[in-house]
């Protein structure tokens, strides 16, 4: 359940492995993994992301994956099949990933490229080492 923090459309969600902030006026979602999730938790969070993309008309997503260790190939394949088409349909425009480890993003990009005949996406995805860099890219300003 989302907790409405203010009357201006700022919402927060937190459980044992995930923290989310949604800024409805800015059409921005910020997520951070608090710990490495199990496969079931990872998939549950993915479905939550999809719900928020659609429900809150999210255009920009900053995902802090610093605490996310390597994800299984099966989970990455599942995300490609489920998240990417739903994100495309929702109007999501940019995903900024904050992490110092690039293993998962490389594997995900390889899967997306491999599946590109089936998946056409206009969503821009970039990886950054700091939140500030991610925000600058989202708003289109130099770091």
d(CA 141, CA 135): 8
Contact 13, 55 (CB under 8 A): no
Give the structural domain span for 55.
32-139
Going residue by residue through the chain (143 aa), what tens digit of pLDDT does each one get? 556 666 588 899 999 999 999 999 999 999 999 999 999 999 999 999 999 999 999 999 999 988 888 788 888 889 888 988 888 888 899 988 888 766 555 655 555 554 444 445 678 888 888 889 999 999 887 65
Q: In a 3-state reduction of DSSP, which class is residue 56?
A: helix
Strand order in the sheet with 10-14: 3-4, 10-14, 18-23, 28-33, 60-64, 94-98, 124-128
| Residue 43 lies inside a defined structural domain of this protein | yes
Q: In this predicted structure, what is the pLDDT of residue 99?
A: 83
In a domain, 15, yes or no: no
pLDDT at position 115 is 47
Query: What is the total residue count of the chain?
Result: 143
> What is the number of domains present in the chain?
1
pLDDT at position 71 = 81
Taking the model in full, what pTM does it have? Answer: 0.83
Which pLDDT value is given to residue 116?
46
Residue 14 lies in a domain: no
Quick one: pLDDT at residue 6?
60
Helix, strand, coil share of the chain (percent; to 5):
40, 25, 35
pLDDT at residue number 120: 52
Domain presence at residue 49:
yes
Query: Which residues, 6 or more positions from 81, have their beta carbon under 8 angstroms from its beta carbon?
Result: none
60 occurs within a structural domain: yes
Say if 24 falls within a structural domain: no
Instruction: Answer whether residue 25 is part of any domain.
Output: no
Whether residue 37 lies inside any domain: the answer is yes
């Amino acid at each position: 359940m989302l907790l409405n923090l203010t009357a201006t459309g700022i919402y927060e969600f937190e459980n044992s492995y995930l923290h989310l902030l949604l800024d409805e006026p800015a059409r921005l979602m910020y997520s951070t993994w608090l710990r490495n999730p199990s496969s079931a938790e990872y998939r549950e969070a993915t479905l939550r992301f999809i719900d928020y993309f659609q429900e809150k008309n999210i255009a920009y997503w900053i995902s802090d994956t610093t605490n996310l260790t390597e994800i299984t190939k099966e989970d990455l394949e599942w995300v490609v099949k489920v998240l990417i088409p739903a994100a495309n349909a929702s109007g999501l425009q940019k995903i900024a990933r904050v992490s110092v480890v690039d293993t998962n993003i490389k594997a995900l990009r390889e899967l997306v490229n491999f599946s590109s005949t089936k998946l056409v996406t206009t969503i821009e995805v970039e990886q950054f080492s700091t939140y500030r860099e991610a925000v600058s890219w989202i708003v289109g300003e130099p770091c």
